[in-house]
Amino acid sequence: MSNSNWLVETTGADGEGARFILTMYERRIALDDLPYFLGLLDHLSARGCAVPRTIHDREGARFRMVDGKAAALIEFLPGISPDEPSAAQAHALGAALAQMHLAGRDFPLERANAMGLVENCATLEACGSEALARIDADLPAMIGPARAAAALDTGGLPRAHIHADLFPDNVLMLGDSVSGMIDFYFACTDTMALDLATTHAAWAFGPDNRYRPAIGASLINGYETVRSLERAERALLPELAKGACLRFVASRAEDWLDTPDDALVTRKDPMEFVARWHYYDETGQDSFA
């Protein structure tokens, strides 16, 4: 578990209640990163993005220590995470993602991507072929593609503050409108096209893990209503989407091996993203037409 969330409801002196999310940071999240994550939320929220602002304490702090753990109070946003997003919802999310990329341009802090293309390769290599094969016989074969992704030259692509984990469960929607993008704890400074490719890989596959062209196309079209992709970004989208798949193959494989068989948590299957990697590898630019 990375953090624990509680819904806090207040009654208010005037009878007008309010809701907040109280987050306690349990592990994985470094204290030093909190000013980046929480500052970015406030920055984006102040510029009209659908992200929760943080509630400061009387001294103006965005988080405080409680029993040795950091805790923050965050605005509660309405909405429901879509189980099976529609094309209209994907279109709205694409636009919201581009808006976020542009709104973050003058946020002054930086955070390196701890799960970038190079790091994912290192994670899979550190797991080792033998351990990966214990999860699935086809998993060790992903080390080669991870090396290729790590060697990808993304130096010329425009960068911004990116969410990096914008799965449907990290998006709140009211109908077809995005009411919240949450869970910014993988946010970092990296290429915007990688964020779009990651969101594509996370959104455009159905429960049967088959590609849903209408979702993929709507996401990209929605993004481009706010920010046009540069030619170099568009050209690299298939490779970035494969890199994005490897991010989840690597983190899920590592988590799988770290989780005892009798643990109560449900492990996420790395093979789901191996299949998506193969899809992008086979179809190339067709997935982004």
Ligand X SMILES: Nc1ncnc2c1ncn2[C@@H]1O[C@H](COP(=O)(O)OP(=O)(O)O)[C@@H](O)[C@H]1O
76 lines the binding site for ligand LJ64HWYM (CB under 6 A): no
Residue 5 binds which entry of ligand X, ligand LJ64HWYM, none, with Cβ cut-offs from 5 to 8 Å by kind? ligand X
Could you tell me how far CA 211 lies from the centroid of its own chain?
A: 19
Binding positions for ligand LJ64HWYM, 159-198, rule CB under 6 A: 165, 167, 183
CB of 2 to ligand X, least distance (A): 6
CB 273 within 8 A of CB 227: no
74 lines the binding site for ligand X (CB under 6 A): yes
77 lines the binding site for ligand X (CB under 6 A): yes
Alpha-carbon distance 276 to 202, whole Å?
Answer: 9
Largest alpha-carbon pair distance within the chain?
A: 63
254 lines the binding site for ligand LJ64HWYM (CB under 6 A): no
Nearer to ligand X, 2 or 129 (CB): 2
82 lines the binding site for ligand LJ64HWYM (CB under 6 A): no
Q: Which of 2, 5, 209, 225 binds ligand LJ64HWYM (CB under 6 A)?
A: 2
204 lines the binding site for ligand X (CB under 6 A): no
Alpha-carbon distance 288 to 217, whole Å?
Answer: 6
Q: Which stretch binds ligand LJ64HWYM (CB under 6 A): 7-15, 29-37, 81-89, 247-255?
A: 247-255
Q: Which of 2, 129, 225, 285 binds ligand X (CB under 6 A)?
A: 2
Q: Which residues on adjacent β-strands are paired with residue 181?
A: 171
Binding positions for ligand X, 25-54, rule CB under 6 A: 52
80 three-class SS:
strand
Q: How many C-beta atoms surround the C-beta of residue 224 within 10 A?
A: 15
Residue 268 binds which entry of ligand X, ligand LJ64HWYM, none, with Cβ cut-offs from 5 to 8 Å by kind? ligand LJ64HWYM
Binding positions for ligand X, 166-185, rule CB under 6 A: 169-170, 180, 182-183
Residue 3 binds which entry of ligand X, ligand LJ64HWYM, none, with Cβ cut-offs from 5 to 8 Å by kind? ligand X
Nearer to ligand X, 8 or 131 (CB): 8
277 lines the binding site for ligand LJ64HWYM (CB under 6 A): no
Residue 77 binds which entry of ligand X, ligand LJ64HWYM, none, with Cβ cut-offs from 5 to 8 Å by kind? ligand X
- Return residues touching ligand LJ64HWYM (CB under 6 A): 2, 165, 167, 183, 248, 251-252, 268
- Return residues touching ligand X (CB under 6 A): 2-3, 5, 21, 52, 74-77, 81, 169-170, 180, 182-183
